[in-house]
A = this chain, B = another copy of it.
Amino acid sequence: MSQFYSHRDLEFQLFENLDLQQLTQYPFFADHSSDTFKMVLDAAKEIAIRSLRPLLTEMDRKEPVLENGKIKIHPGMKAIVKQFGEDGWINATFPYDEGGQQLPWTVHLAAGYILQAANYSASVFPFLTTGAANLIRTFGTLEQTARFTPKMYAGDWQGTMALTEPDAGSSLSDLTTSATPTEDPEIYKIKGQKIYISCGDHDACDNIINLLLARIEGAPAGTKGISLFIVPQKNPETGESNDVLTEGLYHKMGYKGAPIAHLMLGSNDNCMGYLVGEANQGLKYMFQMMNEARLGVGMNAVAIATAAYQASLAYAKERPQGRKINEKDLRKPQVPIIEHADVKRMLLFQKSITEGALALLLYCSWLSDQISQEQDLDKKKGLESLLDLLTPIAKSYPSEMGLQTTSAAVQVLGGAGYTTDFPVEQYYREARIHPIHEGTTGIHGIDLLGRKVVINDGLGWKTLMGEIQKDLQRAKSIESLSEMISTFQMHLKVSNECLIKQIAKMKQGPEVFLADATLFLELCGHLTVGWMWIRQAITAQSKTESEGKSDFYKGKLNTAQYFMEYEIVKIQSLVTRLSSNEFPTIKMTAEQF
């Protein structure tokens, strides 16, 4: 079986490039060490290879089916979900007194990366349960936590996030699922329908615990009138139906192993929902979890792109075709295609994006771990602003660029890549979901430019610039990086000038200001991942000096150079467009298309 991720790179990212040790200074993580972290990664590798990877292709080919109102998934998933529970993956980051291991989220996410790269569909199940359980334990009552979470942690019950409705996708303020009070102030009768609910029904678990947004009768319009409910598929004690019916199963282009359901709630007027926290605070609660979910999606995107990169790398090293371009003697044997510059370009493209985005996501989760434990409120506020700013980038950059890198993986294999004989076509289809779910790229562009960049008087952006400057200071003394650094600094400068121009457009109203927010988001992706490559180059260079030259570190340095030569320069074209005052997209009417 070929490699689907690089354990060596993951350890470099966590233990050489990131100061993970720092987290163990917080009391919550104090029992941990590099050794326990490495054990977690090894355990993830073990379950990935033994349980998840063998089902990768089969779960794609044998799609879930809807029979008699019940979704049936691949029979192998039951044991996997149970194993995730028994091995403690679902609640690994939660406190000891809740049965957790107080593991930093960074390590948990890194372990998730291994599982996702092995088999994205299979990895979705526990990921969703963790998110749903976290909502209950954070905002619900102790009684709710005791009632619902233990079986979720055990892998017996599936958790979901039920937000989308037929008329409320990106526009959550328009959701209409209703909640009618009963005599019990905790219990409401739920009526409505939810679509695109990942793992919203399947037969690998005994119950499905939907964390669902609905509107209590008489609540204010828009997002201020949305409440959060626990809506189990079956009554947790009696096992009786809670009037949550599976109306449909969506057939998708990719990650076919994970079912996406259309749910009908309260068709028989008998669907009970348990209010979580206060009424009308649902969206706020959901969004606190959604930030983690968004980084999770970014990581999913990196993981799939990584698996595709590794598959194309293995192929390129083995497949003979053609000769070196300056070799005219046809009697010489063909060379492996990795010897061709254009193939190396496609591989470096993938390596630079996947390893750069992985660095960004681990950096973000490392910020998140600090935020969760930090007692110094000023420091905490700065870290929060930075993480808030980086989240839409860390979700969108790997999602969008992952489409291009998985495409490059297909291209490296040529005709073979288009056939089902190799997994890259599956990765190409699976990757396509990520720019869509957990907020489309367009939504994240508006979130970044319209909110994250401007709130708190620009604290997030200022913090980002401060952190970048610290790394540039570190790099200053390293002569061999000077060209790379000057390229990066030039792009940093034009990006800042561009931002000032964007802010100036606020005067022209939100439509003009945000018309190209998606492009600004793209620009910030190239810039921040460029920064991640500066950080990796500094680490690799220092290791090269202390430990002698190795292919691994030389490869890192070459890839950093590749990024500055081929990727970060994309900022230039974006800046030209963003600096313009012509707006054909606003001018164009529906009739003119």
Q: Which residues of A contact B (CB under 8 A)?
A: 164, 167, 169-171, 173-174, 195-196, 221-222, 250-254, 260, 313, 317, 320-326, 330-331, 334, 336, 338-348, 351, 403, 407, 410-411, 414-415, 417-421, 425, 428-429, 432-433, 435-437, 440-442, 445-446, 483, 509-511, 514-518, 551-552, 554-555, 558-559, 561-562, 565-566, 569-573, 576-577, 580, 582-593
Contact = CB atoms under 8 A, between A and B. Distances in A.
B253 A425 contact: yes
A323 to B, nearest CB: 8
Given A411-B440, A420-B251, A515 B342 contact: yes
A342 B445 contact: yes
A34 B509 CA distance: 49
Contacts of A317: 590
Given A338-B590, A515-B342, A577 B573 contact: no
A583 B344 CA distance: 11
A243 B26 CA distance: 75
A345 B516 contact: yes
A339 B342 CA distance: 41
Nearest to A322: B171
A14 B558 CA distance: 49
A587 B558 contact: yes
- Number of identical monomers bound together in the oligomeric complex: 2
A411 B343 contact: no
Contacts of A221: 330-331
Contacts of A588: 344, 348, 555, 558-559, 562
A593 B555 contact: yes
A572 B576 contact: yes
Contacts of A483: 582
A517 B341 CA distance: 10
A10 to B, nearest CB: 16
A419 B252 contact: yes
Contact of A436 (B325, B418, B435, B442): B418
29 contacts: A167-B320, A169-B415, A170-B322, A170-B414, A171-B322, A174-B322, A222-B330, A250-B419, A253-B418, A253-B425, A253-B428, A260-B419, A325-B510, A325-B511, A336-B590, A339-B590, A342-B445, A342-B446, A344-B585, A344-B588, A347-B593, A351-B593, A410-B432, A411-B440, A551-B591, A559-B584, A561-B582, A562-B588, A572-B576
